[in-house]
Structure 1
Amino acid sequence: MSKRSIGVAATGVVLALGLAHPLLAQEMGARGGSSVTIGARIQAQYEASSVDDTPSSFFIRRAWVTMDGRLNDLVSARAQYDIDGQTVLEAYLELTPSDALQVQLGQFKKGISYFWLVPNAWLPIIERDARVTGVDHCPGVGSVCSFGRMTGALGLDNYEPGILMQGRFGEYFGYRFTLTNGEGISNRDVNRGKSASGQFSVYPAGNTRVSAYVALDETLDSHGETMGVPAYGAEVEIGTWLDGPHLIANGLRGRNWKLSDDAKFSAFQLMAFWYLPFAPESRFAGIEPMLRVSWVDSGAEDRGSVTGTVVTPGVMVYFVGRNGISTNVDFYTSGDRSDWSLKVQAFAFF
């Protein structure tokens, strides 16, 4: 059976299960007394760009199936499959001996910043990299100069095989550490180096978090030799999802190794959300206006400093739970150029 046939069959199974309880992931018994929970997400998107001769388009942005298995309080596992891309995104064994230590061994999202770690089920921003179709402008990484584009294209935030350790110490401290191949979704490394990232968080009060993170990513330099690429940053979060005002601010500095061995980039991003619930008798759950502001200096000093700014206003309307429709407009400016992209996405999770 082909991969696409398997994907179609898996989609059919999940859709059939979703008909019984469309708002909840489905839990079922499994061998050995364990349980398996199956869920899925489908995100359909419309996108239009200001760039000349760039057609607007409807497409399926995501079609994922997720299976979470639990043997007992200590051992669990996850498998997440991208049906449309025919790719395994997450596949790991998880050990949770205590709140202070959780270990994942397999393939997971490496992300050093919470902006990339937060599930797309929770984020009403449609595209984290704020791309504008038809724009290939940012030196080294291409597309637009944005916080999400720099961290994603430079391999700081992606899916990779390796080991992850994370945990919480009481109410006030948390950590996250990863050691991975540094090659993205791949079963094999290409050199002896490994990529490491770490995040340390402090929770001073209520829904307030302050985090510092650092990464040493291994890649090949312009001479084909393995080199460590450092990056470091900080993040502040005030508030939480679906509960009034919510702010997340990121600052990051690192090396734009796709431009040159020595190019250094700086990136800043601020996101603001405000969830407003509707009355219980309403047919809608709530509405969430949002705003993103992102600024990047790409480090292209040899050709004159190339900076980019993205401003993204948007709004998400929730029908029930995280299901709804989000609308974003990504406005990109750099020097004398100005481009925009309209994005509308339907979120469906079950």
Structure 2
Amino acid sequence: MMKRSIRVTAGVGLALGAAAPLLAQEIRARGGSTVTVGARIQAQYEASSVDGTASSFFIRRAWVTMDGKLNDLVGARAQFNIDGASVLEAYLELTPSEALEIQIGQFKKGMSYFWLVPNAWLPVIERDARVTGVDHCPGVGSVCSFGRLTGALGLDNYEPGLLAQGRVSERFGYRFTLTNGEGIGNKDVNHGKSASGQLSLFPAGNTRVSAYFALDETLNMQGETMSVPAYGAEVEIGTWLDGPHLIANGLRGRNWKLNDDAKFSAFQLMAFWYLPMAPESRFAAIEPMLRVSWVDSGAENPDKVTGTVITPGVMVYFVGRNGISTNVDFYSSGDRSDWSLKVQAFAFF
């Protein structure tokens, strides 16, 4: 199952070579092809500081992924959510070389690696750092965070279209998408298309520097089609399952859900430290983490809103990427302060 994730990550320069513990099952299929079947279940508990908001247990994800391989050139993926059977990814994949991989179908278009990294690898439980009961950020709602802005404005989500990515050399990789701009499974409402791209440089070792952009098709406040630009940069030092790891993002774009002229700015820093346990230990590893996110929503005075999220957490691994993660998202903006406790059990097989 993780071969596909490794290819996706290679487009931005990371090799997730330790993916084997996810234990997906490969079976023979008709025509001499093979199908690799895997699943993930993530059960979550969430509690909020907001008065009148109940704490709850729920199934955050229950996904099945099937990767088909016809030969060295042609493959395919079907990934769906068991709860409601919604299709997340479904595409034909052509891989003539490491320098070029083409996907035709529905995929995660993701400008930044923050949204492209599989949730199997990310001990941050909620990328948008939501706090249940808080509907505060102008235009996009919820909390003002990096993940909330990119997700709610459609910069990082699943959409049908075309994708091209590859690793041209040891120093350079790329990823480009052309999609409908209307979200999962939705047909386009006009002839316009949304474009996004990422260019990555690898100056040394496990260091990556990326620039990314989006020209997203949407409707303005008057119901007219317009292209909404966004651009940003990302720096990564280190890699998964190997000691300290830093990922920093900066992004600027238009908060079109607020108004046609609102320009937001966002910054995020994530730090992880993967610590393997002794062979005789009951646990495989422990990984403390910290996220700091800051956003200016683009609202003008007197409605100007900025928000800060600080998320300490820790992931305990039992085997491979299976384990339990705990995060506390602390949100502050002006004179308000809220928090959310999240505990999630990860299971991949």
How far is 1:191 from its partner?
1.3
Counterpart of 2:3?
Answer: none
Counterpart of 2:114?
Answer: 115
Counterpart of 1:191?
Answer: 190
Structure 1: distance between partners of 2:133 and 2:253: 26
Structure 1: distance between partners of 2:137 and 2:22: 41
Counterpart of 1:33?
Answer: 32
Structure 2: distance between partners of 1:292 and 1:302: 28
Q: Does 1:201 align with 2:180?
A: no
Off by >4 Å, runs of 4+ in structure 1:
none
Which 5+ residue runs of structure 1 have no aligned equivalent? 1-20
Letter of the 2:344 counterpart? Q
Letter of the 1:319 counterpart? F
Counterpart of 1:92?
Answer: 91
Q: 1:23 to 1:306 in 2, by over 3 A?
A: closer
Counterpart of 2:23?
Answer: 24
Pairwise CA RMSD: 1.1
For residues 160-175 of structure 1, the aligned pairs below 5 Å read 160-175=159-174
Q: Does 1:343 align with 2:342?
A: yes
Deviations 1:263-297 (A, max 9, x none): 00000000000000001121210000000000000
Letter of the 1:51 counterpart? V
Counterpart of 1:178?
Answer: 177
Deviations 1:104-138 (A, max 9, x none): 00000011000000000000000000000000000
Structure 1: distance between partners of 2:130 and 2:303: 22
SS of the residue corresponding to residue 188 of structure 1 reads: coil
Letter of the 1:308 counterpart? G
For residues 64-83 of structure 1, the aligned pairs below 5 Å read 64-83=63-82
SS of the residue corresponding to residue 202 of structure 2 reads: strand
> Structure 1 vs Structure 2: percent identity of aligned residues?
86
Structure 2: distance between partners of 1:200 and 1:302: 36
Whether the 8 Å CA contact 2:22–2:321 is kept in 1: the answer is no
Q: Does 1:284 align with 2:273?
A: no
Structure 1: distance between partners of 2:161 and 2:277: 43
Whether the 8 Å CA contact 2:210–2:233 is kept in 1: the answer is yes
How far is 1:22 from its partner?
9.2
Which 5+ residue runs of structure 2 have no aligned equivalent? 1-19
For residues 122-271 of structure 1, the aligned pairs below 5 Å read 122-271=121-270
Structure 2: distance between partners of 1:302 and 1:238: 37
User: Bigger shift: 319-328 or 80-89?
Assistant: 80-89
Letter of the 1:94 counterpart? E
TM superposition score normalised by structure 2? 0.93
SS of the residue corresponding to residue 150 of structure 2 reads: helix
TM superposition score normalised by structure 1? 0.93
Count of residue pairs the alignment pairs up: 330
How far is 1:86 from its partner?
2.3
Deviations 1:54-80 (A, max 9, x none): 000000000000000000110000000
Q: Does 1:304 align with 2:286?
A: no
